[in-house]
Amino acid sequence: MRRFRFYLTGLIPGILFVFFILNQKESGCSYFPNERVIAETLTKDFILTDDFKKELEALHLSPIFLKDSIITKGNIDFKRSAAQQQPCPQYLLIYPAKHPIYEIEYEKCKEMARFISLKKIK
């Protein structure tokens, strides 16, 4: 019984300590490839090619909507992407995931994400 009390004396403060530290960081774990690619893309500097900017304006979309909605809620099509390409893997993102309306092709390099093309499917 005495060992059990010593165990709980260390365990309970330890759990509280870890809970409060991790709660402040807003950290999360992305185990699936789609989530990891999107999370890493959002940390990069966005470079929009001239063609991409024209397509964005023609579809009346803003770069803020691109980052906050399309990329965040999109889905990577790994079958049509070149994820193993070096030095910058090329990805095809579709948005929304269930009934795609937009296709975005981009390269994810070490320092930046360069957006190449934007197509409206429907």
Domains of the chain, each with CATH number or no CATH: 32-120 (3.30.2310)
Q: Is the peptide bond preceding residue 87 cis, with omega within 30 degrees of 0? A: yes
Tell how strand 45-48 and strand 75-76 pair up: unpaired
Pairing of strands 45-48, 112-120: parallel
Residue type at 67? K
Model pLDDT for residues 3-40, shown as the tens digit of each residue: 888 888 888 888 888 877 776 655 566 678 899 999 99
Q: Which two tokens stand for residue 31?
A: 């185990």
The residues, ordered by sequence, that sit 6+ positions from 67 with a Cβ below 8 Å of its Cβ are: 42, 46
User: How far is residue 21's CA from residue 97's CA, in Å, rounded to a whole number?
Assistant: 34
The SS3 call for residue 33 is helix
Tell me what pLDDT residue 122 has.
Answer: 74
Q: What's the first-to-final CA gap in the chain, in angstroms?
A: 68
Pair of tokens at residue 2: 């005495």
**Pairwise CA distance, residues 56 & 88, whole Å:** 23
Residue 82: predicted pLDDT: 92
For the segment 58-99, what is each residue's pLDDT rounded down to a tens digit? 999 999 999 999 999 999 999 999 989 999 999 999 998 788
| The two structure tokens encoding residue 1 | 């019984």
